[in-house]
Chain A
C-alpha cells in the first residue's frame, strides 16, 4: 500500500524547510570561501611564474619572500605606516568637513554656488601629481602638504554628492514642510540633512581609499618617512620584496579604513532596505 509510506503533511513540510535551510547555509558558506580560493589560485600562479621563469628577486619576489619580509621587517613597515595613516585620516576629516560646510552654503545661497562651483571644478581638473609640488612649496616638508593633498582629493566627490543629496528632496515632502509652516532651518535639519546622508556616505567610501593615495603621493614629492617614502626607497635599492610588502601594508590600511566607513554607514543609515545597498 502506498498510503503507508505517506508522510504526515506537517512532517514533510518541516523536512522540506530543513533541507531548504541546509541548502541556504551551503550557499552562504560557499560565498565566504570562494574569494579566498580565488586569492589562493592567484598566489599559486604568481609563485609558479616566478619559479618557472626564474625571475631574479630584484625584479619580482615570490609570494613566500614577500611574506617573510612582511614578518621580518614588520617593525619598519608599521613605523612608516603611522605617519601615512595620520596624514590620510587628517586629510579625510578636513577635506570632508570643508566639503560638507561648503555644500550647505551652496544649497542656501545659489549665487555662491554659481560663483564658485566653476573654480572648484577647475582646481579639481589639476592632476594630484601636479598639485603636490605646489603644496610642498607652500607648506614645507612636514606633514602639512600631505594632509592638504589628501584633503583636496577627498573634497571634490563629497562636495558634489553632498550638494546633490541636500537638493534631491522629494518635492511632496517639501510641500508637506510648507503646509506645516516649517522654517528654512527646520527643513534643513529635519529633511535635507537626513536626505543627504546616503549620498554623503557613498562619497566618504570613495574618499576613505583616495585619502591614502593622496598621502602617499605627497610623500613621494618630499619625505623620508611614510609608506610613500618607503616605496621610493625600496624601488631605488631594487628591494622588490620590501616594495611589495609596503604595497600590501598600504592596501590593508586602505581596506580597513573603507570597511570602518561602511560599518559606520550601516549604523547610521538604517532606514534603507538592505537591497538598496
Chain B
C-alpha cells in the first residue's frame, strides 16, 4: 500500500466530471452580519465520484459544515457553481437524492424510532418507497436496532439515537449521504464501533458519502479521500487520496500505512491556521 501523492484540487475538479456525485466549482459563501461580512468559504472546488467516500477535515471555523449545507441546498453560495449528479442542489433535494445526518441526531422526541425513520414518507409530497428499497424496519435492522422500533428517543442512548438518524437518512436509498460530525458528541468506544459500521453500510448500499469531521483518525479511517480545509477564510488546503483496503477494521489504525497517512494529514492541517 502506498499513499498517493497529494493532488492539486484544481486538477481533480477538472478530472472525470461525467460520473461526479458532487462537483463544486469556485464556491464562495459570505454571511453578512451587523458588524461585518464573514467569508465562510472562499473559492472552494472539489469533486467526488459516484460511490465515493470523502471526508471533509478541518479546524473549527473552516466552513466544512457550511460546505455540506451548500451541497444540501440549505445554504445558497454567494458565487460559484455546485452540481449534484449533474443537477442543481435544489433539484437533487426535490428528487430525494440527498440524505442528511445532523450533529445531534435531531430526532422528533414524540415519535418512536420507527416513526422517526418513517417521517420522510409523510412529508414533501408523501413519496412512495420504491419497490425493492429497504423498509424502515429493515433499515433499523441494518443499523443494529432490531427490537428497538417502538422506543422513544429519550429511552435510547446517544449512539442509538444517531443510528436511528442514519436509518432515517438512508430511507428511500439516497444517492448521496451528507454527514455533519454525526459522531462528534459520542464517547470514543461508541464512535469507533459506529465508524466501522458506517464503512460496512457504505459498502453494502453503494451510496456516496460526504463526512464532516475534525478528527484526523476518523477522516482517515472512513474516507477514500480526505479534503483538508483551512480556516479564515475556509478554503481547500489539500486533497489526499487514502490507499487503504475497502474492508477496514479498527486494527488498521495500528498499521504503518495508516500512521504515515495520518502524519500527512496532520502536516496538511498544520498549515491551516
A interface list, Cβ under 8 A from B: 170, 172-173, 175-183, 186, 190-191, 194, 197, 269-273
Contact = CB atoms under 8 A, between A and B. Distances in A.
Contacts of A172: 102-104, 106
A176 B110 contact: no
Nearest to A176: B106
Contact of B98 (A170, A179, A191, A194): A179
A182 B104 CA distance: 20
16 contacts: A172-B102, A172-B103, A175-B100, A175-B102, A176-B102, A177-B123, A178-B74, A179-B99, A181-B123, A183-B123, A186-B123, A190-B122, A191-B108, A270-B110, A271-B110, A272-B154
Contacts, number: 66
Nearest to B110: A271
A179 B72 contact: yes
Contact of B108 (A173, A179, A182, A183): A173
A271 B108 CA distance: 9
Contacts of A190: 108, 119, 122-123
Given A183-B123, A271-B154, 13 more contacts: A173-B108, A175-B69, A175-B100, A175-B106, A176-B100, A179-B72, A179-B98, A180-B124, A183-B124, A190-B108, A191-B108, A194-B108, A272-B154
Given A178-B74, A191-B108, A271 B152 contact: yes
Closest 7 CB pairs of A and B: A181-B124, A182-B123, A172-B106, A271-B110, A172-B102, A186-B123, A180-B124
A179 B125 contact: no
Nearest to B90: A181
A56 B69 CA distance: 78
Contacts of B185: none
Interface of B: 69, 72-74, 93-94, 96, 98-100, 102-104, 106, 108-111, 119-120, 122-125, 152-154
A170 B105 CA distance: 11
Contacts of A178: 73-74, 93
B100 A179 contact: yes
Contacts of B94: 181
B74 A175 contact: yes
Given A175-B74, A179-B98, A273 B124 contact: no
Contacts of A173: 106, 108
Nearest to B105: A172
B110 A182 contact: no
A273 B123 contact: no
A272 B108 CA distance: 11
Nearest to B165: A176
Contacts of A269: 110
Contacts of B153: 271
A277 to B, nearest CB: 12
Nearest to A273: B154
A173 B109 CA distance: 11
A67 B177 CA distance: 71
A247 to B, nearest CB: 40
* Highest count of chain A CB atoms <10 Å: which of B104, B108, B125: B108
A31 B104 CA distance: 38
Contacts of B72: 175, 179
Contacts of B109: 271-272
Contacts of A180: 96, 119-120, 123-124
Contacts of B98: 179
A191 B116 CA distance: 12
